[in-house]
Amino acid sequence: MMFARAAMAAVSLAWLAVPAQAQQMVYEGSSYGTGTGKCSGYRMSVEVAVNGSDVRGKFQQDGRPQRNFEAKADASGAFKTEAVVGGGGTMAVTGNVGPNGGAVLLDGYCRFSAPLARRQQ
């Protein structure tokens, strides 16, 4: 009986010693473009997944191929990187994420400023 209690206590303490895994949060948003020419008619959808400080995102303009980006968020949830788009060009990707949402700005041939809402998983 004494051995069983000691074993259960050891298992309980071992469980408490395991670090909690960060839960991935996923955010979604969309925006129409701003800028010159036809930009205001272009719609961009964005999805951002955050796991700890790792930020992985994908965006897609209606009728165009999907593009991806990766970044590291700082302690405040802000991130900054570049994404490769068609023709060898790039778009600057900046944003911030937090427990209740965030925002992302895609700045290249047009600007897309999309608020992000946390998606229920």
| Residues 71-81 pLDDT 10s | 999 999 999 99
Domain that holds residue 75: 23-118
DSSP the chain: -HHHHHHHHHHHHHHHHSPPPPPPEEEEEEEE-BSSTTGGG-EEEEEEEEETTEEEEEEEETTS--EEEEEE--TTSEEEEEEE-GGG-EEEEEEEEETTEEEEEEESSSEEEEEEEEPP-
Q: Decide if 40 is inside a domain.
A: yes
Using one digit for the tens of pLDDT, what is the confidence trace for 107-117? 998 999 999 99
Contact 109, 89 (CB under 8 A): yes
Number of domains in the chain: 1
Query: What's the pLDDT tens digit per position in 73-109?
Result: 999 999 999 999 988 899 999 999 999 899 999 999 8
CATH number at residue 85: 2.40.160.90
In a domain, 4, yes or no: no
Is 9 a domain residue? no
Does 3 reside within a domain? no
